[in-house]
Structure 1
Amino acid sequence: MAFASACTYSQGAEPSPCNDPTPVTYAKVISPIFDANCRACHGAGVYQTLGGGNDYSTYEGIKRQSSRLILGCIQHEAGYNPMPKGGAKIAECDIQKIKTWIEAGQPND
């Protein structure tokens, strides 16, 4: 039983879903997050009418946008429009992945 008590999980902290060793790149990690949470309004065919003119359908489109604006919106910070609009805040792990990607210089692949 002493072994189990030394385990982090047995002490009440669950393992983080963000402990994935995969490098955070646009192609492998970020694009799927945007597919799941952003492109219904910020996709190529709808961003003019639904996405306030912000086109996040491509790597270049996301990279053109202010990182501060994207982070402020997805973190639901005061002074920013909470995104996704009318929806719940995206998963904290996905927010952390986006932050990591931005801090790494927004690698494409």
Structure 2
Amino acid sequence: MSYQADVLPILKQQCYRCHSADKYKVSTSNTLNMEDFAALKYYATPANGRNNVSYLVGNIRHDEGFVKMPYDGGKLSDCEIATIKAWVDAGALNN
């Protein structure tokens, strides 16, 4: 599982419209700049989430108690979610 080859393209396509560095600078409600890997890793780490589920995974799966992302109500495909979850489960490495 590679962040650069597998995960980053999904994030760019599905998340950067709200969670890019440019959007982060002008938004008062945006709490995550996904272009900042340290911030992304924090949100991807299960211990920082709820019930040992990372905020990133809980949000994109639309789990109860998490903020549904993408915020517009759409949902990532099962394949995209599985790819991101596998990356998180492997330690969310910047590779």
Letter matched to residue 68 of structure 2: P
Select the structure that is richer in helix. Answer: 2
User: Which structure: larger Rg?
Assistant: 1
Query: For structure 2, which runs of at least 5 residues remain unmatched after alignment?
Result: 46-53
Q: Name the count of aligned residue pairs.
A: 86
Name the counterpart of 1:100: 86
Letter matched to residue 2 of structure 2: T
1:108 offset after TM fit, Å? 2.0
Cα distance 1:50–1:87, how it changes in 2: closer, same or farther (>3 A)? farther
1:52 offset after TM fit, Å? 2.1
Percent identity between matched residues is 29
Name the counterpart of 2:24: 47
Structure 1 Cα separation of the partners of residues 71 and 93 of structure 2: 27
1:61 offset after TM fit, Å? 2.8
Q: Return the TM-score normalized by structure 2.
A: 0.79
Q: CA RMSD, aligned part only?
A: 1.7
Structure 1 Cα separation of the partners of residues 73 and 28 of structure 2: 14
Letter matched to residue 11 of structure 2: F
Query: Deviations 1:59-81 (Å, cap 9, x if unpaired)?
Result: 33311224311111100111111
Query: For structure 1, which runs of at least 5 residues remain unmatched after alignment?
Result: 1-23
Structure 1 segments (4+ residues) deviating >6 Å: none
Structure 1 Cα separation of the partners of residues 77 and 88 of structure 2: 17
Q: Return the TM-score normalized by structure 1.
A: 0.70
Name the counterpart of 2:67: 81
